[in-house]
């Protein structure tokens, strides 16, 4: 990932800015460290006022769309609320699922426990669907494609944990089972979630053109994948 934020840009016009967000940068200000860099504080000096449309967790990398006008913000918000966008993530999980494809349908409730996690809640949870596909397996680790049909907070992380497939690096949802493999602990950039927003498909907020944006896995994540045999070194 380039150090220069301008190098993150996948698309830029008067209405829409799409970036490849690096892991370690929060989308919004941290509630406890409001002065710490975040997406808007880094990009607004270069691109003017920006509106957040959707979020990626701090330690998640990949495609993130931002609006550059109030009109674009309204259009993009509607698309995400009505689930007409398409989001595809790649995830490294601990475990070897017995299936090649699987759809998990478990209702989720955000901020559902003392640790402020999203929890499975059949009574008060909101409907949530995540479609999963195995991409590659290696020595007890699996590289998955995750396609959320809905957009609940921490949806992929909570659903994977519920399946007994904790996301690598996700101590909040996976506990000790989510610890990075020993082979990866010395890899630069290993202190991150092994979750990457690989592709985003949406309609341009003004022209309505269907647009597809993709971001390759960053070098640090590829080194982690190589350390467990998911990709070649």
Which of the four pLDDT bands, split at 50, 70 and 90, describes residue 2?
A: very low
- Pick the closest to residue 156 from 218, 104, 200 (CA basis): 104
Specify the DSSP element, H or E, that contains 202: strand 195-203
pLDDT above 50 (res 1): no
Considering the candidates 4, 13, 57, 232, report the single residue annotated as catalytic. 57
- Pick the closest to residue 190 from 218, 224, 232 (CA basis): 224
Q: What is the pLDDT of residues 190-231, one digit of tens each?
A: 668 999 999 999 999 999 999 999 999 999 899 999 989 998
Q: What is the pLDDT of residues 109-136, one digit of tens each?
A: 998 898 899 999 999 999 999 999 999 9
Total structural domains within the chain:
1
Specify the DSSP element, H or E, that contains 160: helix 155-162
pLDDT above 80 (res 174): yes
Residue 129 domain-assigned (yes or no): yes
For residue 148, the enclosing domain spans 7-227
Mean pLDDT of 15-29: 94
User: CATH number for the domain including 28?
Assistant: 3.30.2350.10
Active site residue 121: no
Q: What is the pLDDT of residues 46-100, one digit of tens each?
A: 999 999 999 999 999 999 999 999 999 999 999 999 999 999 999 999 999 999 9
Residue 233 domain-assigned (yes or no): no
Q: How far apart (Å, rounded) are the C-alpha atoms in residues 206 and 214?
A: 21
């Amino acid at each position: 990932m380039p150090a220069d934020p301008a190098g993150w840009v996948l698309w830029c016009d008067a209405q829409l800015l799409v970036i490849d967000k690096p892991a370690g940068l929060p989308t919004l200000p941290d509630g406890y460290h409001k002065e710490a860099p975040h997406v808007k504080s880094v990009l607004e000096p270069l691109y003017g006022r920006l509106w957040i449309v959707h979020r990626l967790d701090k330690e998640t990398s990949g495609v993130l769309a931002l609006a550059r006008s109030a009109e674009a913000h309204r259009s993009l918000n509607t698309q995400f609320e009505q689930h007409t966008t398409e989001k595809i993530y790649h995830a490294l999980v601990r475990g070897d699922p017995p299936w090649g494809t699987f759809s998990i349908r478990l209702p989720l409730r955000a901020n559902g426990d003392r640790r402020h996690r999203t929890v499975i809640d059949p009574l008060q949870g909101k409907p949530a669907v995540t479609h999963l596909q195995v991409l590659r397996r290696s020595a007890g680790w699996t590289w998955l494609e995750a396609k959320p049909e809905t957009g609940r907070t921490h949806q992929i992380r909570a659903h994977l944990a519920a399946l007994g497939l904790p996301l690598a690096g996700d101590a909040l949802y996976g506990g000790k089972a989510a610890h990075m493999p020993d082979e990866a602990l010395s890899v630069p950039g290993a202190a991150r979630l092994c979750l990457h927003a690989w592709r985003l498909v949406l309609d341009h907020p003004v022209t309505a053109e269907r647009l597809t944006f993709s971001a390759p896995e960053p070098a640090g994540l590829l080194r982690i994948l190589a350390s467990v045999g998911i990709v070649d070194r």
